[in-house]
Structure 1
Amino acid sequence: MRKWGPLVAVCLGTFMLLVDVTIVIVALPDIGATLNASLSQLQWVIDIYALALAALLLGAGSAADVIGRRKVYVAGTALFALASLACGLAPNAGVLIGMRVVQGVGATAMFATTLSLLGAAYQGRDRSVALGVWGAVSGAAAALGPVLGGLLTQGLSWRWVFFVNLPVSAAAIWLTLRAVRESRGGVGARIDWAGTAAFSAFAGTATYAVIRADAVGWASGRTAWTLVVSAAALALFVVVERRSAQPMLDLRLFGNRSFVGVMVGTVALNAAAFGFAPYTSIWLQTVLGMSPVRGGLVLIPLALAAFVAAGLGGRLLHGAPHRWVVVGGLLLIGDWSLAQAVLDAGSDWTSLTAGLALAGFGVGLVNPAVASAALASVPPRQAGMAGGAVNTMRQLGYALGVAVFGTLLTARAQHSLSADGVQDPHAAARALAGGAAREVLTRVPSGQREAVDHALRAAFASGLDTAAVVAGAVGLTAGVVVILLVRTKAPEAAHEQPEQAVRPTPLAVERQ
């Protein structure tokens, strides 16, 4: 246990924080019913956690270099546990969303230090083994989230989706204090507070604008002013990072075409593959009437295919140019999305199975390849910064994907309901997308329920089709961008750089 204790401690925390990105998806209908949550609130339950990871990850990495990585990891795990308890006890949607923010802050502190701790604990072959196990745990966490969420929601209640984090957090903290030694960045490292604040403001306001646009209108003054604030925050971030002697993100990296291409591919991966997964889960449970467990199991083909593709791809595609692996995966994800856009009022879960498997193969190929491509596109001394940027873009892509596809789904559903003559189609569409299909039906006279039920099924299917078409276009377009921008380096160089990315050396380090 002394040798592999650090690995177990880090993997416990990693599994837990990444499970919480997807575990809530299957519980959304129950959360909405129990807390009387609106569609916007359900979107924020998902988005705010991923958004915190995206906005704070790079800043947390620089903070850990200064404060101490073990100290930050333990503090983050404790905060994550307390926030999880508060989420499980939340009396209303507002409290739940607020505590998800705090939970995301704790998860960020954990995620930003995981590879740093492993890099300090292991060397040589042991390090390769540790990183391989960590990667497998990371992939399994996102895949098992919906299934675990379904089991807990149906067997106990949605609140146990959060309560389950408490014993795991306690074990992770205990083992970290016993088995993991402290490490820090180089002399002179400092926290980039200004850059962290500016990037957080940009990411938060951009997502808020997209989520609220459906309710207040894209042409409204509120949406316009929010987008202006978001653009100003992004401009401020650029100014701050350009003037900083020790920026958390060296903007000169974006002068590298290959790095830009990798970032585009990373955002597209999580947006296209996972952005409308919450709405698929709501469709399965509230429109088709499936249980949380069955709804989670429907997503298993994606998880299994991703696991198989990641394993086989690492062996069969060893030495293959990174850009072609990324492009191949994005094309699979794009093709799946377009193939899924055939749902109608009579469709059931079997319509998704083949497409989910196809998308899973794409995800399994792209996930490891974008990290390798990012590392190969920058000098070894900036490998840690590049890895942190990849993880940041992943979470930002997921958060924006959920927001954009929710807006598209409700807009298309409203159009469909209006054509079918449903009263107040805007309110009905938002209630439908928020998981309140049954509640809508209860307000309809019994003689009209069959017709309205058919209209609701058709509207939700139409909304999912629209989201799928856009997701497919995102995936295919990103594939073209990667072909045009990413240039292949020698495979040997790419394989050398991950060692640099986790080495406990000064500053631009281990922020993955």
Structure 2
Amino acid sequence: MSAERAPSPTRWWTLGIVALGSFMLMLDLSVVSIALPQIHESLGSSFADLQWVFDAYALTLAIFLVAAGSLADRIGRKKLFQVGFAVFTVASLACGLADGANALSWFRAIQGVGAAVMFAVGPAMLSHEFHGKERATAFTAFGAAVGLAVATGPLIGGSLINSLSWRWIFYINVPVGVIALVIGALRVRESRNPKAHPTDWAGLATFSVALAALVYATIRGPVEGWKSATTLGLYAASAVFLALFVFIEKRLGERAMIDLAFFRSPTFIGISLVAMIGNAGALPSVFFETSYIENMLHVDAWGTGLRFLPLTGAMFVAGALGGGLIGKVPFRILLGGSTLVMAVGILFLNMTEADSKWTVLIPALVISGFGMGAFNPARAALAIGVTEPAKSGVASGINETFQQVGIAVGIAAVGAYFQHSVADDFTGSAVGQQMGDDAANEAAHGISAGGLDAVAQAAGPLRDKVLVAGQDAFMNAFHGAMTFSAILGFVAAVIGFTMLRTKDLHASALSTVPPDLDEDGQVRPDDATDVAVGAPA
């Protein structure tokens, strides 16, 4: 067992800044969902535009995470974290000032770059500052901040939108960012890995093109056609650049942006897949729950936020409880179990109807909230535990990359399914056929974007028929999309239960936490090589 290290005098300031930064960047991922109807009305955006407001942020988050982790290990984690927070803050101001959907998406992309830096570097800063039992406490707080941001996004967004405007969901980041930058400059100490390799720009470029082509093809598929030359060409380009990326990374070895040696560990592969697939199911469910409440139940932004309180409470409680279980329960149980619970909760969304009372959502919100809340602290701790502490920044960045890829591709894929389902159902309905192909397709796009009432009003004498057919199409698509999301959650759970092995963790992760013991104080035979551990010491 390694000698006990002297505690860092600045560790709690570091935790506070990292937790605040993580809260803000995750808040800006979830808070936008509540503002989409207002953004749609204010900027005249289409359903694809609304997806890009989400995906532009998640996409750059995914692309720059690993590069940020690698760069931080080399030039200094505090320094890069401060730069990331500054970029995030300035881009937030630009998002609030945006005068069109395209401008908003571009500024969201820049905001995602700053968020990527914070999200990649933050866990590595905590790993450097906290040791022993305190590290589990730090990661519990980190996970709670992430979970709380996702859960409170609708409530905070609703409050700002109703009292001010949708632009204030971005403006609010500016004073918070300025205060955080000052505190970080004065109270957080620097750390780095002097042996870290230079940034892999070739890998970054090929990975960025591959991921951008994949997400863009998925979003544009329903519009261009899944078998169109544009869609197939984009998917082919994604595959080619991904293959080129793997070739480059193999040639570079340990100097690569993503050290492929990490993937020799089944547990590293497992936690990467669980993070990607689990988030591909979780975040779209929040996106479409918000759309259902606002468009089918006709609740305003503030009321929608209030109705997410069961999710907020469940995530907050589960985040605290889940963090406390790190070191006491095997990671395969924590992560497999949390994604399983999440998937079950999402399935309960199929109980909804167009005229349901909002309380029908409570079982889904509470159950899925517990799963989402318990997931984050365990994922963050395990992602760092699979490698030596000197490479913690890169390891954290890779895992966050898979998580954000899951969010970007999940929202694009589930959104494409939703849009395609609405179009099929509505154009195939009696009133859709009566309207003609072009008018019916245009109406279906409006329904997908949350404009059913406006579409019905514009239909004149067909108003009532369009309203009924539109509600049916929306609800069928909603139920299918939530089933899709739940299936992704179940897949993530199976991977978590079967691929996560404690014996793959770095030796330093085993130094402070004993294995699972039976009632006689002996190591359980089936857990002798798969024991419960905490975050690495």
Same fold (TM over 0.5): yes
TM-score normalised by L of structure 1: 0.90
| 1:289 corresponding residue in structure 2 | 298
SS in 2 for 1:112: helix
Structure 2 unaligned residues grouped into runs of 5+: 1-8, 514-534
Please say if 1:435 is aligned against 2:445.
Answer: no
Instruction: State the distance in 2 between where 1:207 and 1:63 align.
Output: 26
C-alpha distance in 2 between matches for 1:347 and 1:420: 25
Per-residue deviation, 1:222: 0.1
Match of 1:456 in 2: 470
Matched to 1:399, the amino acid is A
One-letter code aligned to 1:15: F
Indicate yes or no: 2:225 matched with 1:225: no
Residues 390-439 of structure 1 deviation map (CA, whole Å, 9 limit, x = unaligned) = 21111111111111111111111122212242233322222112122222
C-alpha change, 1:330 and 1:132, in structure 2 (3 Å) is closer
Aligned residues: 499
Quickly say closer, same or farther: Cα 1:494–1:406, change in 2 above 3 A. Answer: farther
The answer as to 2:200 corresponding to 1:186 is: no
Q: Which moved more, 1:166-175 or 1:117-126?
A: 117-126
Q: 1:102 to 1:50 in 2, by over 3 A?
A: same
Aligned to 2:522: none
Deviations 1:144-192 (A, max 9, x none): 1221111111110000011001100110111112112333321453112
Identity across matched positions, percent? 36
Structure 2 residue aligned with 1:425: 440
Shift of 1:54: 0.9
Q: 1:479 aligns with which of 493, 502, 519?
A: 493
The answer to whether the 8 Å contact 2:69/2:393 transfers is no
Q: Which residue of 2 aligns with 1:71?
A: 79
* Cα distance, 1:10–1:315 mapped onto 2, change above 3 Å: closer
Which segment drifts farther, 108-117 or 240-249?
108-117
- TM-score with structure 2 setting the length: 0.86
Aligned letter for 1:419?
S
Within the candidate set 268, 274, 280, 1:271 is matched to 280
- Give the equivalent residue in structure 1 for 2:331: 322
Equivalent residue of 2:503, what SS? coil
The aligned counterpart of 1:502 is none
Is structure 2 residue 415 aligned with structure 1 residue 401? no
Aligned CA-pair RMSD: 2.6
1:265, CA displacement in angstroms?
1.5
- CA distances 1:291-317 after superposition (whole Å, capped 9, x unpaired): 101112222222221222232344467
Q: Which runs of 5+ in 1 are unaligned?
A: 500-509
State the distance in 2 between where 1:266 and 1:120 align: 23
Q: Which residue of the partner structure matches residue 308 of structure 2?
A: 299
User: Counterpart amino acid of 2:232?
Assistant: A
Matched, 1:97 2:105: yes
Aligned to 1:236: 244
For residue 95 of structure 1, report the CA deviation from its aligned partner.
Answer: 0.6
Q: Deviations over 1:172-230 (max 9, x none)?
A: 11111211233332145311211222222121111101000010010000001100111
Structure 1 SS opposite 2:491: helix
- Conserved 8 A contact 1:262-1:373: yes
1:346 aligns with 2:379: no
Q: Distance in 1 between matches of 2:271 and 2:126?
A: 25
Conservation of the 8 A alpha-carbon contact between 1:59 and 1:195: no
Q: Matched residues in 2 for 1:57 and 1:459: separation?
A: 38
8 Å CA contact 2:30, 2:153 repeated in 1: yes
- For the Cα contact (< 8 Å) 2:85–2:118, is it kept in 1? yes
